[in-house]
Homo-oligomer: A and B are copies of this chain.
Amino acid sequence: MARKTLTHPRKEARQERSRATVDCLVEATARILVKEGFDKASTNRIAEAAGVSIGSLYQYFPSKEALVAAVIDRHQEDLMRIVRGALAELMAAPLEEGVRMIAAVAVKAHRSDPRLHRVLAEQIPRTGRLAHVEGFARENHRLFKGYLEHHRDELRPDLRDTDLELAAYMCVTTIEALTHTAALHRPEILADPGAQALVEEATRLVAGYLLPPRRPRRAA
């Protein structure tokens, strides 16, 4: 039984061979989590699926939680790479366009491996990775707040002079939630025709919140 549930690797893998072992283990953990769920994912089972002995597993991971945490971290890093890249690219885009691109990125991220995403979302609290994942969420807020600050003059007037903390929270949380909820409970919304609509609606929702009100266009 875990006495303390460490989640950091017990030992650094130094040689090529052992790095491969570690990779196999993380890989197998992800596969089993997706295919059989957390409860069936015993350490013995994972080791077997990885083609690695249980002893080797414990050379590198002090607990089952550590394995799951490794999967979570890898997944998060993947996502954050995408997000950072997108935000850097889009810094110059005007507000509405920027919001649309962010919504599109969120949708894309949730579409890539929804089942893994789902299992991990469920297991994050258990693995003590909550703080870590929250860190990414905060980075998201920070990045987006930066984007907003960069476009202050496009904002609706009463937002221009305020701290944009809350506004950023609203936008990022909303977009995240709309895609996340769709991925977990409404897969049809993320499926092919619906995804475009979701991006458009999310854009309208958030852009409408940020931009100054515009008079409706007269019919031609």
Which residues of A does B touch, CB under 8 Å?
Answer: 39, 122, 125-126, 134, 137, 156-157, 166-167, 169-170, 173-174, 176-178, 180-181, 185-186, 189, 197, 201-202, 204-206, 208-209, 212-216
Whether the Cβ atoms of B209 and A205 lie closer than 8 Å is: yes
Q: How far is the CB of A188 from chain B (nearest CB, A)?
A: 11
Interface of A is mostly: helix
Give every chain B residue within 8 A of A174 (Cβ-Cβ): 174, 177-178, 205
Whether the Cβ atoms of A212 and B205 lie closer than 8 Å is: no
Whether the Cβ atoms of B169 and A173 lie closer than 8 Å is: no
Q: How far is the CB of A81 from chain B (nearest CB, A)?
A: 22
Whether the Cβ atoms of A186 and B169 lie closer than 8 Å is: yes
**Do A216 and B205 form a contact, CB below 8 Å, given A173-B177, A177-B181, A181-B177?**
no
Whether the Cβ atoms of B209 and A204 lie closer than 8 Å is: yes
Q: Which of B134, B177, B206 contacts A178 (CB 8 A)?
A: B177
Residue of B nearest to A214 (CB): B213
State A213–B216 Cα separation when bound (angstroms).
6
Give every chain B residue within 8 A of A206 (Cβ-Cβ): 205
State A32–B139 Cα separation when bound (angstroms).
34
Whether the Cβ atoms of A205 and B169 lie closer than 8 Å is: no
State A143–B197 Cα separation when bound (angstroms).
22
User: Can you list 25 pairs linking A and B with CB atoms under 8 Å apart?
Assistant: A39-B126, A122-B122, A122-B125, A122-B126, A137-B185, A157-B216, A166-B197, A166-B201, A169-B189, A170-B202, A173-B178, A174-B177, A174-B178, A174-B205, A176-B181, A177-B180, A204-B209, A205-B206, A205-B208, A208-B208, A208-B209, A212-B216, A213-B214, A213-B215, A215-B215
